[in-house]
């Protein structure tokens, strides 16, 4: 799915990254805990979260997250948006709750970046 299709599906508003809506997304990860995002999210995934502080953007940059969807109608501070613009990370906001957001995406073929945490835990 493209980010543009995801935007339509979630009735989302694009806050940063209008020029990146053709990005292809295949996997996603949802969490409000950045420590878990760092442990489990994979490069190129969509991040679904209810957190809006600048660390969400930093975490996404470190992990090469494709785009961030802020759920439950959350709107980030100007500081967070500035950082997203600087690091070229698309940020969208949707009024759907996390569960509904994940369900809608899953029904359209987006899968989790892993199924279980004991899958593929191929650390060196």
Partner 1 sequence: MAAWKGLTTNVLSHETAIYENSFPVEGGTYENAGHVSSQIKALLKRMKISKEVVRRAALVTYESEINICSYARSGKIVLRVTPEHVTIEAIDEGQGIVDIELAMQEGYSTATDRIREMGFGAGMGLCNIKNFSDFFRITSEIGKGTHLKMVIRIDKDFDGI
Task: Using the minimum distance from each CB to partner 1, give the nearer residue, 20 or 54.
Answer: 54
Q: Which of 14, 19, 33, 50 is nearest to 117 (CA)?
A: 33
Site size toward partner 1 (CB under 8 A) is 31
d(CA 89, CA 20): 9
Choice from 8, 11, 33, 77 touching partner 1 (CB under 8 A): 33
Rounded-to-integer distance, Cα 124 and Cα 30, Å: 25
Which of helix, strand or coil describes residue 72? coil
> Which parts of 12-119 fold into alpha helices (H)?
34-40, 54-63, 78-86, 98-107
Q: How far is the CB of 77 from partner 1 (least distance, A)?
A: 13
- Which residue of 2, 8, 73, 87 would you call a contact of partner 1, by CB under 8 A? 87
Least Å distance between CB 123 and partner 1?
4
Q: Which of 2, 8, 11, 62 binds partner 1 (CB under 8 A)?
A: 62
β-pair type (91-93, 67-70): parallel
Distance in Å, CB of 30 to partner 1, minimum: 13
Alpha helix ranges (H) inside the chain: 3-9, 34-40, 54-63, 78-86, 98-107
The answer to whether 114 contacts partner 1 (rule: CB under 8 A) is: yes
Establish if 35 lies at the interface with partner 1 (CB under 8 A): yes
Interacting residues with partner 1 (CB under 8 A):
32-43, 51, 53-56, 58-59, 61-64, 87, 113-114, 120-124
């Amino acid at each position: 799915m493209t980010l543009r299709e995801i935007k339509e599906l979630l009735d989302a508003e694009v806050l940063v990254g209008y020029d990146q809506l053709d990005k292809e997304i295949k996997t996603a990860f949802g969490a409000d805990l950045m420590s878990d995002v760092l442990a489990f999210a994979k490069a190129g995934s969509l991040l679904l979260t209810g957190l809006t502080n600048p660390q969400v953007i930093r975490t996404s940059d470190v992990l090469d997250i494709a785009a961030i969807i802020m759920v439950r109608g959350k709107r980030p501070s100007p500081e967070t948006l500035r950082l997203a613009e600087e690091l070229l990370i698309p940020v969208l906001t949707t009024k759907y709750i996390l569960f509904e957001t994940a369900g809608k995406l899953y029904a359209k073929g987006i899968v989790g970046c892993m199924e279980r945490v004991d899958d593929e835990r191929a650390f060196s």
